[in-house]
Structure 1
Amino acid sequence: MPITNQIQFEEVRDRFGSFLRERQLRQTPERISILEEIYKATDHFDADELFLKLQANDVRVSRATVYNTLDLLIDCKLVRRHQFGDKQAKYEPAHAYAQHDHLICEDCNQLFEFCDPRIQGIQEMVAEIFQFDVIRHSLNLYGHCRRENCPNKPAEEPNG
């Protein structure tokens, strides 16, 4: 979910700047470039993909700075980290985050987002039963996509 509105991005940048100042950390050009690249993202990404994208855009930054900045952005609640199975962690922007869940194809690693209000209803019902205040949830469904162009789809077994 990229932020296309400059005012929204300024809110994100200001929030990150305040977060850094509170912790007596510097708001470096590299950190802001990383933040900008993240908020241009249209899909989930891993740290290496982000690093390569920054390099392709001539942003001079180390992998360590990318990982450290991702950790800061998670602490600041501007980025969410997802661990889908045993795969490398994936990230997505979290400002103005709309709750959604994920389908993950175990063959091609394609990630599909979906939102179903019935899940929210179940969450509220379960929270009420257990007298529990839910602050977030994560639902990841793993399986095999049925797309014809799934690049890693296993070959059909011959009958016989």
Structure 2
Amino acid sequence: MSEEKVKEWSARQKFARFLEEHKKRKTPERFVILEKIFSSQAHVGAEALYNLLLADGYRVSRATVYNTLDLLVEAGLVRRVTLGDGMTRYERVSGSINHHHLICTRCGKVKEVKAVNTVAELLPKKPRSFEPAYYTLYIYGMCSSCARREQMMRAGTTEKSR
């Protein structure tokens, strides 16, 4: 079994326990939503997830998507993130909880990179009344594809102006 499938299976087990402990129904729709998030490498918004489910032939309501996302966040399996455009997206919680997001300001592409011990650099002296749980750093710039495209456009503009 691949590492991704193991993570997804483990998440299914944890979600099933969470639903039982909170006396919530274990519906197929909830597990399909979990599966879609864990199979996606992207940060997905609720509406995009809803549309993806419909396109794949699942009959699920918007309310079910939003409510299930809330349950997944509460269960600690999914995290809400806002990547600078004001839209809430969701990412699976797996591997290192501390990571950075490289966000292209042109196309909106998001890439996750593993964090080094940034908290020690940001908080060299731990505040007495604060216990850090996790952190995420957003770094904005231009992805290599957009940078290449812009460089080609500049080169074309320079040649035309000669």
Q: Same fold (TM over 0.5)?
A: yes
How far the C-alpha of 1:109 sits from its partner, in A, is 1.1
Residues of 2 paired with 1:12 and 1:116: CA distance? 23
Residues of 2 paired with 1:107 and 1:119: CA distance? 26
4+ long deviations beyond 6 Å = none
User: Is this contact kept in 1: 2:97–2:134, CA < 8 A?
Assistant: no
**Residue in structure 1 matched with residue 18 of structure 2 by the alignment:** 19
Residues of 1 paired with 2:64 and 2:10: CA distance? 22
**Residue in structure 2 matched with residue 148 of structure 1 by the alignment:** 148
Residues of 1 paired with 2:39 and 2:3: CA distance? 6
**Residue in structure 1 matched with residue 32 of structure 2 by the alignment:** 33
Residues of 1 paired with 2:96 and 2:118: CA distance? 17
Identical aligned pairs, as a percentage?
35
How far the C-alpha of 1:97 sits from its partner, in A, is 4.0
1:34-53 CA deviation, whole Å, 9 max, x = no partner? 11111111121111221122
Q: Which has the higher helix share?
A: 2
**Residue in structure 1 matched with residue 65 of structure 2 by the alignment:** 66
Return the TM-score normalized by structure 2.
0.79
Give structure 1 stretches of 5+ with no counterpart: none
**Residue in structure 2 matched with residue 76 of structure 1 by the alignment:** 75
Instruction: Name the larger-Rg structure.
Output: 2
**How many residue pairs end up in the alignment?**
152
User: Is this contact kept in 1: 2:45–2:90, CA < 8 A?
Assistant: yes
Residues of 1 paired with 2:83 and 2:21: CA distance? 32
Residues of 2 paired with 1:113 and 1:144: CA distance? 14
Letter of the 1:134 counterpart = P
Rate the CA distance shift 1:145–1:72 in 2: closer, same or farther, 3 A: same
Residues of 2 paired with 1:28 and 1:58: CA distance? 16
> Over aligned residue pairs, what C-alpha RMSD do you find?
2.6
**Residue in structure 2 matched with residue 55 of structure 1 by the alignment:** 54
How far the C-alpha of 1:23 sits from its partner, in A, is 1.6
